[in-house]
Amino acid sequence: MSTPLTPLQRDELVAALVDAFPTLTKLDQMLALKVRQHRPSITPDGPLDDVVLRIVLRAERDFWTRNLIAGARAATPGNPLLQEFLAAHPTLDPGTVTAAVDHYSAKFLVGGRVFLCRPGFRSALREIGEGLSSRVLVVYGDRGTGKTYSKDFVGYLLQFDPVRRAERYKFAYVDVDQQDATLENLARRIATALGMDPTTIPSRPASDKEQDSRWLPDLYQWLSDGINAGAYEVWWLVLDGFRVSLPNEALDLIQMLGEFADVGTDRLRLVLLNYPRVDALLYSHVEAITAPPITRSDIEAFLTEVFSRAGDPPDPAVVTAAADSIDQQVDRQVAQLLATHAISSPVEPHVRLKHLNVALSRTAQKLLSGART
C-alpha cells in the first residue's frame, strides 16, 4: 500500500508520462507489456493529457502507482522528464522500494479490497512449488470464514509480486458448483479455464457408456496434455465450491491433477477451496480457517495502521470509535438483509464477513484520502 501522490507529484508524473509516451498506441503498449493493465478498461480514448491523468488516478486508487512508474521507466529508461521526476521524488523510485515491499503481507488488493489475517494461507503461497515443496494447497473452514476470498489474493500476487508475476503465468478459476455435478461437466469447465477447447473432450469408452471410472484416465490425460502444451509457463488453477456433492470419479480427477502438479509437471499450481477430501492429498499444503476469521482486535490493529499511513496519530479512542462505527454498519446491513430477504441465520457469518470487508475497505479509503469516517 502507498500514500496518495501530492498534487505536485501527480502533475509532474502526468507530464513525464505524456512526454515518454506521446501517443495512445505507445501508452497502451507500455501499460500492457510492462504494467499488465488494459487501458481501455480504465479509460476510453481522449486527449492524451486527460487519459494519462485518469490512469494515474486509477493507479493511486488501486495501489499500483509504483508499478506504473516502474513500467514507464523500463519502457523508456532514458526519458529526461521521468528521470527528473524520480530524482525529485526518490521515495517514489521503484528501485529504492521494491526490496521492502512484501506482497504476501498485503492488506489491500486491487480496487481497495481488504484482505486481513490468514497467516497460514500467506505462508503457504510463499512456499508452494518452491524447491521440493508441494504445488497443491487445500483451504477449508466453516461457511463464512472467507475461503472464496482466497482467489482474490492469489490473483493479486500473480499480478503484482515480482517473484510470481510473469507474462507467462496464468490464473484460472472454476466454481465447480455452477453446473450439474458430473465428471463430464467438471472436466469441460477445467479445460475451458485452462484455455483448451472443451469440444475436444475424449469420447466415452464405447464398451461402457455408464461407468465414468473407465473414462477417467482419458480425461486426465487430456487435461494434463493441455496443461503441458498450453501457452503459459505456469497455470494457477483454483477450484472453489464443493457445496454440492460431486461423484467420486470427479473427485478422483481432482486428486489425479493434484498428483500431476507435484510429480508430473512443473507447470501447474492447484488451489482447492473447501475441498472435501483433505486427507486424501497427503503432500499438499493445508490451511484450516477458524471462525471468526477477523476479530475485533484484528479490526483495531488494521485501523491503527491505516491512521498511521494517513498521517494521523493512531489515538486509541479514535481507533475504538472507528471500529465501533464499522461494527454498527455491519450489524445494520445484516439485520436489514435478514429482515428483507428472509435470510436464515446459518448463513449469517458469510453475509457478515462480506459486509465487514466492504466496510473496512470504504473506511480505509476515506482515511487515506483525508476524509473522516
What 3 state SS string does 149-207 have?
CHHHHHHHHHHHCCCCCCCCEEEEEEECCCCCCCHHHHHHHHHHHCCCCHHHCCCCCCC
Structural domain of 12: 7-100
How many helices, marked H, and strands, marked E, lie in the chain?
14, 5
The answer on 65 and 28 residing in a single domain is yes
Nearest in space to 282 (alpha carbons), one of 301, 259, 260, 302: 259
pLDDT of amino acid 3: 53
Each residue's pLDDT tens digit, 177-206: 988 889 999 999 999 999 999 999 999 887
Q: Do 247 and 182 meet the contact criterion of CB atoms below 8 Å apart?
A: yes
Identify the CATH number of the domain in which residue 226 sits: 3.40.50.300
- The answer to whether position 151 is within a domain reads yes
Is there a single domain that holds both residue 33 and residue 137?
A: no
**What average pLDDT score do residues 85-106 get?**
75
Region 68-93: mean pLDDT is: 90
88 in the same domain as 176: no
Identify whether 80 is part of a domain: yes
Task: Tell me which of 318 and 93 has the higher pLDDT.
Answer: 318
Domain C-terminal end among 60, 75, 100 = 100
Can you tell me the mean pLDDT for 227-256? 92
**What does pTM read for this prediction?**
0.72
Confidence at 27, pLDDT banded by 50, 70, 90 = very high
Residues 141 and 64 in one domain: no
DSSP H stretches of helix in 199-315: 212-229, 248-259, 296-309
Find the angle CA(166)-CA(174)-CA(274) to the nearest 5 degrees.
Answer: 105
Give me the pLDDT at residue 342, please: 56
Say whether both 110 and 251 belong to one domain.
yes
Is residue 1, in this structure, part of any structural domain at all? Answer: no
Please tell me whether residues 46 and 177 are part of one structural domain.
no
pLDDT band at 373 (very low <50, low <70, confident <90, very high): very low
**How do residues 312-347 score in pLDDT, each as one tens digit?**
777 899 999 999 999 999 988 888 877 776 555 555
Same domain membership, residue 309 and residue 269? no
| Residue 172 domain flag | yes
Band of residue 4 on the pLDDT scale cut at 50, 70, 90: low
Q: Domain check: are 203 and 86 in the same one?
A: no
Task: Give the residues across from 272 on adjacent strands.
Answer: 138, 239
* 243 domain residue, yes or no: yes
Sheet holding 268-273, edge to edge: 169-175, 234-240, 268-273, 136-141, 285-289
Mean pLDDT along residues 19-33: 94
Shared-domain flag, residues 268 and 319? no
Same domain, 29 and 139: no
Which of 54, 76, 100 lies at the terminal end of a domain, its last residue? Answer: 100
Question: What's the first-to-final CA gap in the chain, in angstroms?
Answer: 20
Same domain, yes or no: 343 and 307: yes
Question: What does the pLDDT read at residue 372?
Answer: 47
- How many structural domains comprise the chain? 3
* For residue 364, pLDDT beyond 90: no
**Which of 82, 100, 118 represents a domain boundary (last residue)?**
100
Q: How confident is the model at residue 99 (pLDDT cuts 50, 70, 90)?
A: very low
Q: Report the distance separating Cα 198 and Cα 175, nearest Å.
A: 16
Query: What value does the mean pLDDT of the chain take?
Result: 86
Q: Once rounded to an integer, what is the mean pLDDT over residues 341-354?
A: 68
Domain assignment present for residue 373? The answer is no
Please indicate, yes or no, whether residues 79 and 108 belong to a single structural domain of this protein.
no
